[in-house]
Amino acid sequence: DDEEIELGTDPEKADTDNDGVSDGQELIDSSDPLDPGSVLLTLPSSICTEWNGFLGTESNPGMYNILENLNNSGSTLSATASLYDNSGELQSSLGFSVASGAQQDLLVHDMGGFLPDTIGQVCVNHSGNAGDLDGRMVLYQPSLTPGAASDEFQFAYAMPYGAGLPGDQYVPFNTANPSLNTADYGNLVANWIQITNRTGNTQNGTLRFYGMSGELLGSTALSIPASARSDVSGHQWGPWQVGLVAWEPVDQSAMFTLRNVRYFYDNPGSVASFITAFQLTGAKGSGQELIAALDTSTGSSIVEMMNVSSASITVAIAIYNQSGILVSQTSRDIGPKASYHLITDSILDGQKGTVKLASNVNGSLLAVVMQYGRDDAGSLQYLFGHHAAEPLGVVFRSSYNTFLSQGCRLTVANASPTSQLVTFSLTRWDGTVVASGITRTIAGNGLLDENLCMYETTNQYGVVTVQGTNPNSLYGFVRRIGKNNQYHFPTALRQ
């Protein structure tokens, strides 16, 4: 109790800040047990993500649902993937194994019970310990163009595995059309807010929408059955709306996954035809220093900051170029539930770099970097978003994939003010080590951007492992790039 008093944690609660990780474990992880946004999550041995059978037509089967499974352990894992419908009823199961340090992908759209115009969850139970298996669902929407090749798509995005989060969580929404071509302004930008109940009981809560100034646009009370998902339109508030979505469950210990899946139509919404799409997973606000990567070399890079708290905050903002040189330093006051968007294009002026953000209040700041690619006419070509995050962890993994004419780039930001050596390796799906011991030096506050797929042949996939000199100092992802820039999406480096 004396130690709890000294730390300021609650002796009556194992998890003072209700972020899903005990206070004791947070001390081991170097996260803040008083800040719900400061956390290093470990996946349990039973993990789930969502599948989606919508967007099919008579000539198009709909989205390919590819479940990517990464083995973080030192031995082969045996696992079972179980597909459930949206009422939580088991439809089919599939056994598989994953070699140590490798990856195994499953075609969920071929599993029994995967039906058009339906949704559900796929859950994996494995033989290892907590944290031994990671992964994601990747959804690819085939091109509608007659005669299109098998590697041509309208969009692709990834939804990472997760056990959900307890308590309130948040995600931004945005119905503005980011095209610079006025001919596109009538096209629909749909925001589907997905709330998945990760518990075995019906749960109740309220979904609230806030505008850019923090004003309450409206709210929806939800009752979500066990293991089911509810989808609520974020575009119900009309076009050109920007703001914050809050999910507030009645039972603050119940686990939920919150996402915003944003679809950019190439028409007003009458036809299920798209320019691109992406998803963001819900999170909690933080008071720690957060870092993210920026890239204005081929498009726009916008830092979206949201104050999820009920009081005004001040956010310190520092932007560095790829070499770690400070190019901008400022601060911004953000009101309760309000948002602020910082366009970094003129600041970095065609360069890559990093941004560091720090709120003066714990549990308050949610930040996302949005990347926009446009064609010569100014129309949107691709976009994706990634959360700014506190750099926690030692050894990180993500995936690469050269199937479907895809490219991939490794992005690693150094949160340390001094340079450090980063080592990475690639292991193919069958356990073959493709490359190992590749070292790069990243400047303090700088950025590594490396063509990862150059180390692999075509039609392969696998795991990239990254480790720096200093613990709790790296942040990054692998950017997967579709043929002719049809899509870009990130798969986060996670411990």
Of 335, 355, 387, the last residue of a domain is 387
CB 478 within 8 A of CB 411: yes
Do 250 and 172 lie in a common domain?
yes
Of 110, 126, 160, the last residue of a domain is 160
Handedness of CA 455, 459, 460, 464 (dihedral sign): positive
Which CATH number characterizes residue 250's domain? 2.60.290.11
Task: Please give the mean pLDDT across all residues of the chain.
Answer: 97
In this structure, is residue 17 part of a structural domain? no
Helix (H, G, I), strand (E, B) or coil at 256: strand
**Owning domain of residue 487:** 396-492
Do 375 and 427 lie in a common domain?
no
What is the pLDDT at residue 1? Answer: 65
In this structure, is residue 25 part of a structural domain? no
In this structure, is residue 179 part of a structural domain? yes
Residue 34 backbone class (left: φ over 0; alpha: ψ -120 to 50; beta: rest): alpha
In this structure, is residue 23 part of a structural domain? no
Do 400 and 476 lie in a common domain?
yes
- Please provide the DSSP assignment of 15-70 as one string: STT-SSS-HHHHHHHT--TT-TT-------SEEEEEEE--S--SS----EEEEEEE
Those residues with Cβ within 8 angstroms of residue 379's Cβ, 6 or more apart along the chain or in another chain = 179, 180, 181, 183, 184, 275
In this structure, is residue 152 part of a structural domain? yes
For the chain, the domain total comes to 4
Positions in the chain short of pLDDT 50: none
Q: The whole model's pTM is what?
A: 0.97
What is the pLDDT at residue 28? Answer: 97
Do 54 and 144 lie in a common domain?
yes
Sole residue written with tokens 């870009």? 488
Say which amino acid occupies 377: A
Do 169 and 155 lie in a common domain?
no
In this structure, is residue 29 part of a structural domain? no
Do 191 and 152 lie in a common domain?
no
Those residues with Cβ within 8 angstroms of residue 113's Cβ, 6 or more apart along the chain or in another chain = 83, 85, 91, 92, 120
Do 139 and 186 lie in a common domain?
no
Do 379 and 469 lie in a common domain?
no
CA 1 to chain centre: 37
